Chains A and B, each alone.
Chain A
Amino acid sequence: MSTSVVAGRPALARPAWLDWLRHRPIWLALAGLLALAIVAAAGVVFGSVAIAPGDTLAILGHRLLGLPVTQTWPASAETIVVELRLPRVLMALAVGGALSLAGVALQGLLRNPLADPYVLGTASGAALGAAIALLIPVQFALLGFGLIHVLAFAGALGAVAVVYRVSRLGGLSSLSSVLLTGYAIGSLLAAGLAITMYLSGQNLRQIFFYLLGSFSLASWPQVAVGLPIIVLGSAVLLTRARSLNALLLGEETAAHLGLDVRRERLVLLAAASLVTAAAVAMAGLIGFVGLVVPHVVRLVAGPNARALLPLSAIWGAAFLAMADLLARIPGELPVGVITGVIGAPFFLLVLRRYRGGYEL
């Protein structure tokens, strides 16, 4: 264990308003909700097809509130707003919030700034599951979900379960062994993915979809099945603030602060894996959200999980909905490309600006 004293370096002067904000996270939350509302509205109004905002509003009023509005728009506009954009925005919000929460939980549990929702093999498990689904010549669709979604979900959960078993996380093994196990299992699954991809010929494109993420196929049935899982897991994570705070100084200190460390490990891991698996099954692997959002929020609002959890959920939701909007303006770019393109430089900027003293 390394003690790191950043000696000699002068304490960085933070702008006064940032300090002010750090003590008043409620303003960050309100600003986040405002951003979320704006992005969500923009996500419904804008798209690759131009529909007048007035028409959009009238369609929403007509379809959601039952207002007696005379239909002046083409039927296709109604389909686009109600059947395509609304579920898409909802799903992007849910997945963004859930991945950010999972990132907070896993970074806190594993005490590793590099941890993200995919760190324990979820990503390669889901990708392998999706790839295998493409090799199975049975088409199956239930409530907007195909075999690919089901196997991606199962693959993600299966990978975590294997990591959990192999590393004996249920026991008292050290956390670095968990990370290494996750890495090893992930590599193994990636090799399996490579073989599967090699065998799958032209179907590769759909694996490509899974590796970069997209909300282009979001639909109400998917929202109806996926959203409850995500909301449930997220709700559990939101109640774990106390545990994550206790874990800030390590598991032993957490135990001395009265935490049932073994149980909390299981709860945090299960909830984070559940929402990640659901997110991956619906939208593929969307990188950077679960890594960057928690860090940026932590740098502004501090590590207190009581603020960090809800703020990450709000800002993560807004960020991903915005990334999805940017992804569909030029056509259909994978949303993971956008989150990477925006997320990585922004993250570097923030790290540079505030030199948070991260030890990697």
Chain B
Amino acid sequence: MSGASVELRDLTLSYGARRAVDGVSARIGEAEMVALLGPNGAGKSTLLRAVSGSGGGLATGGARQTGQVLIDDVPLDEYDGASLARMVAVVPGQTRAAFPLRVEELVALGRIPHEHPLLGPRAADRAVIDAAIERVGITNLRGRDVRELSLGERQLAVLAMAVAQAPRLLLLDEPTVHLDLRHQVAVMELLRDLAIRDGVTVLAVMHDINLAAHFFGRLLLLYQGRLVADGSPSDVLTPERIRAVYGVDPALVTVAR
């Protein structure tokens, strides 16, 4: 399985007169691991939603869109929801189950795009679910109610669901927010493993610059909806730029990888 490419062509998303995303163009190659950075309100999540597909119009929350998103060089709106779901998995910032739900049942939801519509998951799907649980390392949580888990454990369970979806493009919205250091690292290493071993293209909105710089090979820096920098961490994260974008004086330390 190889990753999917993503191309943004002059993408603009506006709510009324306000442009949340303003003329962003970029190309993300297969199996690339890219972080979206920027201060609050820079348009990161809006951009991610636009890439995650129309989703029946839900995803961009009613924003008006000009420009294009292409996945594997095909415009996004030419995909139907089902085939897009077999290709793209989304890990939202927050997940809330309406009813008591066990971890294994949550992970199984990832198979919905692949399973038989009427007959449901079959043996092959079961195997994928088990493998996803094992890979994320949450076998001990299988029978627990998702809503009794810590936030970190819950995030891992949602990641396992995304893994079970077997996507070629994985979109994540602040996957490490609220997590302790151990879980942050666990999540990052899983993403890297997915990109390297499975060739999954990863695009994540990150709030933590350090974590992004450490684990992602390429950063897209957004400021007031515009793409102000695109490149490796050392190219993007200059002191001047961080001061201009985040409004703080950074103390940058280069850490050997």
Contacts and interface: CB of A to CB of B under 8 A. Distances in A.
A303 B99 contact: yes
Interface string A87-107: 000000000000000000001
Nearest to A2: B96
Nearest to B99: A303
Contacts of B62: 172
Given A251-B58, A262-B56, A257 B112 contact: yes
Contact of B109 (A3, A4, A248, A298): A248
Interface residues of A, number: 46
Interface in A1-29: 1-7, 9, 11, 19
A242 B92 contact: no
A247 B55 CA distance: 13
Given A9-B148, A111-B98, A248-B99, A256 B105 contact: no
Nearest to A250: B96
B113 to A, nearest CB: 4
B217 interface: no
Interface string A305-329: 0100000000000000000000000
Considering residues A107, A261, A303, which has the most beta carbons from chain B within 10 angstroms of its beta carbon? A303
Given A1-B94, A356-B100, A258 B57 contact: no
A341 to B, nearest CB: 26
Residue from the set A1, A250, A258 with the largest chain B CB neighbour count within 10 Å: A258
Contacts of A111: 98
Contacts of B96: 1-4, 249-250
Contacts of B81: 255, 258-260
B120 interface: yes
B52 interface: yes
A113 B62 CA distance: 28
A239 B145 CA distance: 26
B85 A257 contact: yes
B16 interface: no
Interface string A253-289: 1011111111100000000000000000000000000
Contacts of B247: none
B88 interface: yes
B84 interface: yes
Q: What 3 pairs between A and B have smallest CB-CB spacing?
A: A258-B85, A255-B55, A111-B98
B100 A245 contact: no
Contact of A252 (B59, B105, B108): B59
Interface in A104-125: 107-108, 111-113
A260 B89 contact: no
B105 A302 contact: yes
Nearest to B98: A111
Contacts of A358: 99-100
A241 interface: yes
Q: Is the interface of A mostly helix, strand, loop or mixed?
A: loop
Given A253-B95, A257-B109, A357-B100, 17 more contacts: A1-B94, A5-B147, A5-B148, A5-B150, A11-B148, A248-B97, A248-B98, A249-B96, A249-B109, A251-B58, A252-B59, A257-B112, A259-B85, A298-B99, A303-B97, A356-B100, A358-B100
25 contacts: A2-B96, A4-B96, A4-B147, A7-B150, A19-B143, A107-B98, A172-B57, A239-B118, A242-B118, A242-B120, A248-B109, A252-B92, A255-B56, A256-B59, A257-B110, A257-B112, A258-B82, A258-B86, A259-B81, A302-B101, A302-B105, A303-B97, A356-B99, A357-B147, A358-B99
B95 A249 contact: yes
B120 A255 contact: no
A298 B100 contact: yes
A61 to B, nearest CB: 37
A350 B120 CA distance: 29
B183 interface: no
Nearest to A113: B99
Contact of B59 (A107, A108, A255): A255
Contacts of A48: none
Contact of B101 (A4, A248, A257): A248
Given A249-B109, A262-B56, A303-B105, A256 B90 contact: yes
Contacts of B53: 255-256
Nearest to A108: B98
Interface string A72-92: 000000000000000000000
B115 interface: yes
A246 interface: yes
B241 interface: no
Interface string B165-186: 1000000000000000000000
A302 B82 CA distance: 25
A256 B109 contact: no
A357 B145 contact: yes
Interface string A335-357: 00000000000000000000011
Contacts of B102: 302
B243 interface: no
Contact of A6 (B108, B109, B147): B147
B135 interface: no
B100 A5 contact: no
A239 B58 CA distance: 24
Interface string B127-157: 0000000000000000111011111001000
B149 A5 contact: yes
Given A3-B94, A249-B95, A258 B113 contact: yes
Given A4-B147, A262-B56, A249 B86 contact: no
